[in-house]
Amino acid sequence: MACILDNNHNAEEDDSSIDWQLPISFVKKRHIEKIEGANAITQTWRMKERMKTVSVALVLCLNVGVDPPDIIKTQPCARLECWIDPLSVSPQKALETIGANLQKQYERWQPRARYKQSLDPTVEEVKKLCTSLRRNAKEERVLFHYNGHGVPKPTSNGEVWVFNRTYTQYIPLSVYDLQTWMGAPSIYVYDCSNAGIIVDSFKQFADQHEKEYEQVAAQSRGSVNSPPTFKNCIQLAACAATQILPMNPDLPADIFTSCLTTPIKIALRWFVMQSTSKLVPKISMDLIDKIPGQLNDRRTMLGELNWIFTAITDTIAWNTLPRDLFQKLFRQDLLVASLFRNFLLAERIMRSYDCTPVSSPKLPPTYQHPMWQAWDLALDLCLAQLPAILESEDQFIHSPFFEEQLTAFQVWLALGSEQRNPPEQLPIVLQVLLSQVHRLRALELLGKFLDLGPWAVNLALSVGIFPYVLKLLQSSARELRPLLVFIWAKILAVDSTCQADLVRDNGHKYFLSILQDPSMPGEDRTLATFVLASIVNNYPQGQEVALQGSLVSICLEQLGDQNPLLRQWLAICLGRLWTNYDKARWCGVRDIAHEKLYNLLSDPVPEVRAAAVYALGTFISSVTERSEHANNIDHSIAMTLINTVSHDMSPLIRKELVVALQWMVLLFENSFLSVALQEEGRTSQALADVSMSPIMGMRRIASRDRLKILSPGSLFNPDGGIIPVTVANAEAFQSNSDRIKRVSSSSSISSLGHGQLSNLPNLSYGSIYMKLWHGLTTLDVDPHPSIRHMSHIITNHIRDQVKDSSVPKEVNDTKITSSLSLPPSPSGRPTFLAGESPPSTISATELHRLAASRSSHLTCRTRKTLPNTISEEENDINSGRKPLVTTQFVDWSCKYFAQPVMKFLQDNDVESSLHYEREWRYQRNSALRCEARDEQRKIATGKLESQVFSARCPNPPSVIQFHPYETYVAVAGKDAFSIWDWLSGCKLSYCPNHGSKASRITSLQFVNSHDVSLLLVGSDDGTVRLWNNYTLAQHGLEPGLVTAWQALADVQPVSRSLNAGAGSVMSWEQRAQNVIVTGDVRIIRIWDAESELKVQDIPTGADCCVTSISTDVSESSLIVAGCGDGSVRLFDRRLPPQEARIMTWREHSAWIVDVNLRSNPQGSGKAITGCVAGDVKFFDLRRNSSLATCETSQGMTAMAVHKAADTFACGSVNQYISVYNMEGSPLNTIKYHEGFMGPRIGPVSCLAFHPYRVSLAAGSMDSSISVYSIDPKR
């Protein structure tokens, strides 16, 4: 006794951690998610059209030396034009130099454009210039730069001013005319006072143009070209409609042009002019011009400033503009992007002088954006070092700007999510990719950002990341490989159209080299495989380059890799590579790819098996040229698939199997029609003497009257001959036509001319098509409804044609549903022997017509076996052939890469609600076990007779089971189960098991009972179904089918005469995640829930059914089984299956009702068994005979042994339940329902103890169920 107490004490210590150590089963994504691809987000990041500004008109109206009359200039006044003082040289020279300088300033942004200057022009010169540039530019963009500092301000009528030939007058030039000459698309820059008024007029004139175009089009009835869309023209104006340009002598006169074309120079000047720059001593205007370096060399001081300026203006634009406007202005045209970046600076500088630059399209104000402070800081740090650098030629210290911005990005990533504003620094990360110094860190952060989900990938693509990461694939730096392959996987998971860009730039080679490199980790090779699988997906050019890069052999070499995700994607990649691509398929044949993929069909990871089935399916479907060799390979693949995975535990794989097998049906349609016809014909009596044994499980699909496949013109004799019949007498003989016998002699075939399916091959029994058809008809009754549905679509595709053909018609309107010949098959023979003529009753033209109607009905390719009668055209097998069924397994697999990969799994997040819920459940479980231990001690002296629950079921209960921790009891009767709350007495749900009509439930088990539990339901037809949400019926939720499979599919059942009828007997082991299934079979089969594979079959050695099995947690390798013949057998599954039976006790004389295996505290195992005759025996597992026997009542129908308490109960056909202790002494008997004059209980049909509490559930034949407890309070 002390030993037991000590044991209990230890148990209590360990109790709290027990549940945390138990695995949770059936919670992988394949169980809890719908198998479908991600919803594609419409891609908006790609430019619909890239544009170039190819021509630039520089129109300068300066008239140096003569000020316009409408502006009174201050003295001193701003003079510099293009950084030149016009008064320092002669007027003409000044004008030319300014023109040349302006051109140079623009060339820095767009060196390849065609520049034309027009200095102090007339209207005619402007017209000539604009029309010639538009003519040369065709559909591209033209820039018109107008400097009007030497002419009056633009007018409210929408006119700018130019000169007459002699410069004695200012001549107005209407913007309306300018629009006409410039056409569209165009960009206008107006550097003059009052410039905003032009922008206003421009819109009115644009509307006017469009109306006029419409009128002309209406008159000439639509023969006019479409009008240029002036509204899409871009305009940049120096100031608003009533403003005058600043005249500060420290600024250039063309300050707007300077901002647009020499931003760094003007920004530095303006910065030095501000009062804040006094903080940087010793800096003068002259010093600024001496900043060392080139603008386009990022390693120099000036270059770095320019780089920072680009990053900041890009960032401000991206954060303030609507996405589509940002794309149009900052990503479509290099020159436009530069001008608009610089326009943001112009707005900042000119607003400080009370000028508001105007643009069309209008931009939101950006001059107060906080990023400008970062720009001021960068200038500050740069200028602070300048004197020392110029004096002593010190090395300049690079700006910390980019590092700091990356840190800010990193901080955002630590806290960022889709709900927050996007990170401001994204465009800067883009710029940093250009620098080798920070590139690694930038890529790492970018990868983390893309990992947040598809929304992040779309954001990054809209910023313009794509060309940068594409260019980086040319880098040979090894340290970038893992980062780049991760980033590319993320991009392709969201936008698969990037495959074309990769192929165009030879990017696929980068990923092929990663995949080939054995030193790369498996995760990186998986990502590379995914990228390559995306490149070859439905993209012929991609398939071609991948095949040239020997992708087939690279993938095949690594199929045995340790990483399951890599194995899965190698198979998917191969499957996609040879989809509709014959060359890759034959390359695979040469490498015996199909045989190498066979190894994956027994892979421990279900997704890998599904991927292998997918790859073999596309292997079959990709052949365009049918040949004997191709057919043989396809037959071997199909048979291997049927034999290995048709009874796989995972529905994922069986669905892929159906999809793969449909190609056999579509490719060899005639052979399957022939099999289906024979199947239908099997209802006929005359088939009895044909050497064809019926196939198990093949279902008849039609009645005998459908079998009239002979035309009224000829009829079978029972003895095999053929009687010609006139059509008039046909009705009289119709009844005989049911008695059809297969005929193989060529003479009889030739007279079968009118038979609609008479030209099908005669397949011998056991042919490959027979086996495949049998496999498909088995899938027709799969326990999983979606697989049943898919399989039915395929088998009905054939059966419907057989049915259609069974209705006799006149030859003229016959729809022949079989081709006149067949693809070669091992057993198919040509219908007409060589040299014979086809039936003479049909003319050649009729044959043509029949062939045509046949080919319209089915798209199956035919061989030339009819000499000189039909000119058959060979159809390409796959052209236009659509699959009958498809799955989204591959798209679902792709979704993995679009979702966050780096994020902690919620299971490991101790702050998540999931974790808190689990913690609560495990504490509740521990408390219940502790409470139950008190009850277990009491039963030694107490009685188990308080009825705490009673209810009636729709059917007599056959199985009853307690949930260990909830107050549920599950009850099954016939083919439905219900869940009751025995504490509150209410029924929680009633659910049909959706098995076949005749099946009944014989076993119930709770899976994951310590956590969110599932209900495992076994039926007597060998099917097992797993349900979730089984208690939520009152919330209006249907129970969901997690998985379903045929657990005993390919096993020969024991014959009924030998005590069969136990149905399926099942045991669930949570710790090992095993389902042990047996029943009316001669084996005990163990399935592993983790890999969803059959682990082993242990032969029972008995010729009768197994009626009950038991395993014990502490004795995890032992199984005790009770059999229908009264024998009790002990198995040790550590031994080879044939030697696993280590003990057989034959002390019982009749059917074993229950067996129970339990371990003693001393460490020796013990078994308790009871049989129908009423004797209960106690065995020590180490001895050959029982230790003790307890005689209970005759006619025992049910028995239950408590897992922990020393008690067992027996139920009798004589309407009572006896409760005993382990010494065999009776504790109490239950005969009546509770209450005054309570009725007698019915004959007991099932009993079950609660796993922990001392509570007993009983079901009886009168459809009532009860729960009895030791504690009346419960």
What phi and psi, each to the nearest 5 degrees, are found at residue 420?
-80, 165
Confidence of residue 752 (pLDDT cuts 50, 70, 90): very low
Please check whether residue 964 is in contact with residue 1009, taking contact to mean a CB–CB distance below 8 angstroms.
yes
Q: How many CB atoms lie within 10 A of CB 67?
A: 12
DSSP 124: H
What is the four-CA torsion angle of 403, 405, 406, 411, rounded to 10 degrees? Answer: 130
User: How do residues 1009-1021 score in pLDDT, each as one tens digit?
Assistant: 998 899 999 998 8
What does the alpha-carbon distance between residue 500 and residue 584 come to, in Å, rounded to a whole number? 19
What phi and psi, each to the nearest 5 degrees, are found at residue 1032?
-100, 20
Does the pLDDT of residue 793 top 70, yes or no?
yes
224/747: higher pLDDT = 224
Given this model, what pLDDT does residue 618 score? 92
Which structure tokens are listed for 475?
């880098």
What does the alpha-carbon distance between residue 1186 and residue 1145 come to, in Å, rounded to a whole number? 8
Which structure tokens are listed for 500?
């074309």
Does the pLDDT of residue 1098 top 90, yes or no?
yes
Mean pLDDT for the stretch of residues 88-114: 94
Mean pLDDT for the stretch of residues 770-794: 92
902/372: higher pLDDT = 372
What does the alpha-carbon distance between residue 519 and residue 374 come to, in Å, rounded to a whole number? 43
Given this model, what pLDDT does residue 872 score? 28
**CA angle at 1032 for the pair 1028 and 1033, rounded to the nearest 5°:** 110
152/73: higher pLDDT = 152
What does the alpha-carbon distance between residue 306 and residue 108 come to, in Å, rounded to a whole number? 12
Q: CB neighbours of 514 closer than 8 A, spacing ≥ 6?
A: 481, 485, 520, 524, 525, 528
Given this model, what pLDDT does residue 972 score? 92
Please check whether residue 462 is in contact with residue 45, taking contact to mean a CB–CB distance below 8 angstroms.
yes
Given this model, what pLDDT does residue 149 score? 94
DSSP 22: S
What does the alpha-carbon distance between residue 731 and residue 747 come to, in Å, rounded to a whole number? 25
The pTM assigned to this predicted structure is 0.83
What does the alpha-carbon distance between residue 967 and residue 301 come to, in Å, rounded to a whole number? 76
Confidence of residue 831 (pLDDT cuts 50, 70, 90): very low
How far apart, in Å, are the Cα atoms of 783 and each of 799, 1079, 1152?
22, 18, 29
What phi and psi, each to the nearest 5 degrees, are found at residue 1250?
-65, 140
**Strand pairing class (234-237; 114-119):** unpaired
Mean pLDDT for the stretch of residues 634-658: 92
Mean pLDDT for the stretch of residues 212-220: 81
Helices marked H in 45-143: 91-107, 123-137
The candidate with the shortest Cα–Cα distance to 1005, out of 916, 1076, 908, is: 1076
The candidate with the shortest Cα–Cα distance to 163, out of 59, 55, 57, 56, is: 59
What does the alpha-carbon distance between residue 492 and residue 985 come to, in Å, rounded to a whole number? 55
How far apart, in Å, are the Cα atoms of 451 and each of 30, 407, 424, 563, 736?
21, 18, 17, 21, 72
Does the pLDDT of residue 1113 top 80, yes or no?
no
Which structure tokens are listed for 596?
């190498």
Q: CB neighbours of 124 closer than 8 A, spacing ≥ 6?
A: none
Which structure tokens are listed for 281?
């001593």
Which structure tokens are listed for 1133?
């599954």
Q: CB neighbours of 497 closer than 8 A, spacing ≥ 6?
A: 43, 46
Instruction: Give the lowest-confidence range in 589-603, 783-797, 1156-1170.
Output: 1156-1170
**CA angle at 426 for the pair 422 and 430, rounded to the nearest 5°:** 160
Q: CB neighbours of 646 closer than 8 A, spacing ≥ 6?
A: 654, 657, 775, 778, 779, 1049
How far apart, in Å, are the Cα atoms of 1012 and each of 20, 65, 918, 921?
13, 90, 9, 9
What does the alpha-carbon distance between residue 609 and residue 599 come to, in Å, rounded to a whole number? 9
What does the alpha-carbon distance between residue 467 and residue 474 come to, in Å, rounded to a whole number? 12
Output the average pLDDT for the chain. 81
Confidence of residue 1056 (pLDDT cuts 50, 70, 90): low
Given this model, what pLDDT does residue 863 score? 35
Cite the beta strand spans of 336-413 per DSSP E: 358-360
User: How do residues 684-736 score in pLDDT, each as one tens digit?
Assistant: 433 343 333 333 333 333 333 333 333 333 333 333 333 333 333 333 333 33
How far apart, in Å, are the Cα atoms of 1042 and each of 893, 917, 1077?
18, 22, 18
What does the alpha-carbon distance between residue 324 and residue 382 come to, in Å, rounded to a whole number? 35
What does the alpha-carbon distance between residue 1017 and residue 1000 come to, in Å, rounded to a whole number? 10
What does the alpha-carbon distance between residue 43 and residue 656 come to, in Å, rounded to a whole number? 30
Which structure tokens are listed for 664?
């056999």
User: How do residues 1022-1045 score in pLDDT, each as one tens digit?
Assistant: 899 999 888 876 566 778 899 999
Q: Identity (one letter) of the amino acid at 1242? A: G
What does the alpha-carbon distance between residue 1024 and residue 1067 come to, in Å, rounded to a whole number? 12
Given this model, what pLDDT does residue 453 score? 87
Which structure tokens are listed for 1108?
């009950």
Given this model, what pLDDT does residue 144 score? 96
Does the pLDDT of residue 760 top 70, yes or no?
no
What does the alpha-carbon distance between residue 1247 and residue 1260 come to, in Å, rounded to a whole number? 9
Cite the beta strand spans of 920-1013 per DSSP E: 946-952, 959-962, 968-973, 976-981, 987-992, 1001-1007
Mean pLDDT for the stretch of residues 1114-1122: 83
Find the helix or strand (DSSP H, E) in which 1109 lies.
Answer: strand 1106-1111
First-to-last alpha carbon distance for the chain, in angstroms, is: 28
DSSP-derived 3-state class of residue 1259:
strand
How far apart, in Å, are the Cα atoms of 326 and each of 139, 140, 652, 842?
22, 20, 45, 73
Does the pLDDT of residue 916 top 60, yes or no?
yes
Q: Identity (one letter) of the amino acid at 597? A: L
What is the four-CA torsion angle of 754, 758, 759, 763, rounded to 10 degrees? Answer: -170
Q: How far is CA 427 from the centre of its chain?
A: 30
Please check whether residue 1181 is in contact with residue 1143, taking contact to mean a CB–CB distance below 8 angstroms.
yes
How large is the angle between the packed helices 301-320 and 401-415, nearest 10 degrees?
30
What phi and psi, each to the nearest 5 degrees, are found at residue 1260?
-130, 170
Q: Identity (one letter) of the amino acid at 219? A: Q
Which structure tokens are listed for 50?
């890239």
User: How do residues 1067-1092 score in pLDDT, each as one tens digit?
Assistant: 998 888 899 999 888 899 999 999 99
What does the alpha-carbon distance between residue 200 and residue 506 come to, in Å, rounded to a whole number? 49
Q: How far is CA 85 from the centre of its chain?
A: 66
User: How do residues 367-385 score in pLDDT, each as one tens digit?
Assistant: 999 999 999 999 988 888 8
pLDDT exceeding 90 applies to what percent of the chain? 44
Mean pLDDT for the stretch of residues 472-483: 90
601/218: higher pLDDT = 601
434/864: higher pLDDT = 434
Please check whether residue 201 is in contact with residue 175, taking contact to mean a CB–CB distance below 8 angstroms.
yes
Using CB atoms within 10 Å of the CB of residue 1088, give its burial: 0 to 12 exposed, 13 to 18 middle, 19+ buried. Answer: middle
Please check whether residue 62 is in contact with residue 91, taking contact to mean a CB–CB distance below 8 angstroms.
no
What does the alpha-carbon distance between residue 341 and residue 326 come to, in Å, rounded to a whole number? 11
How large is the angle between the packed helices 522-535 and 889-898, nearest 10 degrees?
120
How large is the angle between the packed helices 454-463 and 323-330, nearest 10 degrees?
30
What does the alpha-carbon distance between residue 48 and residue 40 come to, in Å, rounded to a whole number? 19
Mean pLDDT for the stretch of residues 1187-1200: 86
> Which residues face 421 on adjacent strands?
none
Which structure tokens are listed for 800?
């419907």
pLDDT exceeding 70 applies to what percent of the chain? 82
How far apart, in Å, are the Cα atoms of 996 and each of 410, 1022, 1085, 1272?
58, 11, 22, 42
Which structure tokens are listed for 116?
């034309």
Q: Give the 3-state DSSP-derived string for 1156-1188, with helices as H, strands as E and coil as C.
A: EEEECCCCCEEEEEEECCCEEEEEECCCCCEEE
